[in-house]
């Protein structure tokens, strides 16, 4: 994408960026702050009108992302297996795949599928891994511990009880929703 140093950003450049990062549509929609419908139009423009000037907001964002790939939030986070591999040494007693998936908001069995089988992780969980990731192990541990506190709080507020004893976030028994007055 060296050509953007001498040219304005056009619709084709956004499609080239998408291709170079291999991000899926959900991530691109999030990144560019557009609806799915608008993203589809942007990609049609990239095919039908590749030299059309991009929206200035998108052009500025793309220019920044290309110029500062290491200073922006991780667009393509580590795989769940790689994240867990980096996380385990920072946590006393380690982190099981069971606990990892439950704290990420999934069924406890998902962790095994993510780490051992390379199964896909939900886009929201993938985004969470990108937010939690830190090169400094102490920062990674701190981020993880805060995430776990939030998971415990969310489970309690949903009336699910102790997160440590759950296998799933579904309400197999008990209230479906806590009343606002409680």
Confidence of residue 180 (pLDDT cuts 50, 70, 90): very low
Residue 10: strand pairing partners: 53
Same domain, 87 and 156: yes
| Domain carrying residue 151 | 80-165
Is position 179 within any domain? Answer: no
Is position 172 within any domain? Answer: no
SS3 label, residue 10: strand
| Digit-coded pLDDT (tens) for 73-88 | 566 678 999 999 999 9
Cα three-residue angle 72-32-17, rounded to 5 degrees: 70
| Interatomic CA distance for residues 164 and 167, integer angstroms | 9
Confidence of residue 163 (pLDDT cuts 50, 70, 90): confident
| Interatomic CA distance for residues 78 and 25, integer angstroms | 18
- Structurally, the chain folds into a number of domains equal to 2
Cα three-residue angle 160-102-81, rounded to 5 degrees: 175
Is position 10 within any domain? Answer: yes
Residue ending a domain, choose from 16, 33, 67: 67
| Digit-coded pLDDT (tens) for 16-60 | 999 888 778 888 898 888 999 999 999 999 999 999 999 998 999
Angle, to 10 degrees, between the axis of helix 123-132 and the axis of helix 80-87? 30
Same domain, 56 and 90: no
| Interatomic CA distance for residues 20 and 1, integer angstroms | 9
The predicted structure's pLDDT at residue 179: 37
Share in percent of the chain as helix, strand, coil (round to 5): 60, 0, 40
| pLDDT greater than 50 at residue 15 | yes
Count the Cβ atoms, other than its own, within 10 Å of residue 153.
11
166-181 mean pLDDT: 55
Same domain, 89 and 149: yes
| Digit-coded pLDDT (tens) for 100-157 | 999 999 999 999 999 999 998 887 788 788 888 888 999 999 999 999 999 999 988 8
The overall pTM is greater than 0.85: no
């Amino acid at each position: 994408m060296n050509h953007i140093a001498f040219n304005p950003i056009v619709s084709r450049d956004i499609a080239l960026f998408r291709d170079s990062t291999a991000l899926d549509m959900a991530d691109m929609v999030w990144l560019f702050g557009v609806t799915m419908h608008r993203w589809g139009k942007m990609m049609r423009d990239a095919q039908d009108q590749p030299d059309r000037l991009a929206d200035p907001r998108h052009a500025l964002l793309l220019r920044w992302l290309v110029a500062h790939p290491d200073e922006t939030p991780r667009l393509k986070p580590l795989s769940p297996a790689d994240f867990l591999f980096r996380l385990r040494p920072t946590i006393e007693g380690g982190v099981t795949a069971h606990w990892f998936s439950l704290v990420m908001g999934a069924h406890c069995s998902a962790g095994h599928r993510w780490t051992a089988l390379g199964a896909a992780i939900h886009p929201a969980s993938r985004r969470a891994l990108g937010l939690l990731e830190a090169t400094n192990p102490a920062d990674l541990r701190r981020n993880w511990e805060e995430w776990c506190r939030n998971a415990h709080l969310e489970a309690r507020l949903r009336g699910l009880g102790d997160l440590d004893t759950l296998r799933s976030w579904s309400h197999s028994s008990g209230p479906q929703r806590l009343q606002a007055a409680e």
